[in-house]
């Protein structure tokens, strides 16, 4: 059992550190003591009740959060990313959190297309063309174009019956690439702007 396991609480939607719940038990001679609520399923699997340190609600945890019930929320997307794009990526993360790998890849691809359009790509083009438009206009680097294309490839496979299967690893890498792409496009410039404003530049 691990103390201080961190999750995004499924109840209060805050990043929280879980602490083991204290259970009162009879110790004999009328004495009552408090112990952690732990069930040892096997030598390498222990389940325990964790309590959110913000809202005090309980969750069931296996070991150091290998599994948690109710399912914890994924980390929220940075608010500097425009709402429509952020909504797409958040949905991709929720799909991933319930093992819907194909759906996660499709929504990550959608977030990339939403970003391409927001950055000036023509709305009627295919994503491959929209990514190329951003690169040709100097709005993304060669590296960022490669990231976007990788997300597009996996998202296309996920969206079409004839496409290759999407594994957990594929979905996780696509989500990471999409989020890093959006951070470069929106979050880093917002941080730089904030610093310039502080310095009066």
- Rounded to an integer, what distance in angstroms lies between the CA atom of residue 120 and that of residue 160? 27
- Rounded to an integer, what distance in angstroms lies between the CA atom of residue 96 and that of residue 77? 14
| Pick from 8-12, 94-98, 133-137, 145-149: least confident | 8-12
Q: From the centroid of its chain, how far is CA 85?
A: 14
What pLDDT is stored for residue 181 in this prediction? 96
pLDDT band at 115 (very low <50, low <70, confident <90, very high): very high
- Asked if 46 and 63 count as a contact pair (C-beta separation under 8 A), the reply is yes
Domains, the chain, in order of start with CATH, read 5-69 (no CATH), 83-199 (1.20.120.330)
- Rounded to an integer, what distance in angstroms lies between the CA atom of residue 90 and that of residue 149? 20
| Average pLDDT of the residues of the chain | 87
What pLDDT is stored for residue 42 in this prediction? 85
């Amino acid at each position: 059992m691990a103390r201080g396991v961190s999750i995004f609480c499924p109840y209060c939607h805050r990043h929280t550190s879980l602490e083991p719940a204290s259970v009162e038990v009879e110790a004999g001679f009328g004495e009552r003591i408090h112990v952690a609520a732990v069930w040892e399923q096997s030598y390498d699997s222990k389940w325990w009740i964790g309590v959110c340190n913000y809202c005090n609600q309980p969750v069931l945890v296996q070991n150091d959060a290998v599994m948690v019930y109710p399912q914890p929320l994924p980390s929220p997307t940075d608010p500097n990313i425009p709402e429509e794009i952020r909504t797409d990526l958040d949905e991709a993360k929720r799909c991933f959190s319930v093992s819907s790998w194909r759906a996660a890849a499709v929504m990550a691809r959608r977030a990339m297309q939403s970003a391409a359009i927001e950055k000036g790509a023509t709305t009627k083009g295919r994503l491959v063309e929209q990514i190329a438009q951003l690169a040709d206009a100097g709005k993304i680097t060669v590296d960022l174009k490669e990231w976007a294309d990788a997300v597009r490839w996996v998202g296309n496979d996920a969206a079409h019956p004839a496409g290759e299967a999407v594994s957990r690893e594929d979905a996780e890498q696509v989500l990471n690439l999409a989020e890093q792409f959006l951070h470069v496009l929106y979050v880093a410039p917002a941080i730089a702007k904030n610093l310039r404003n502080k310095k009066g530049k």
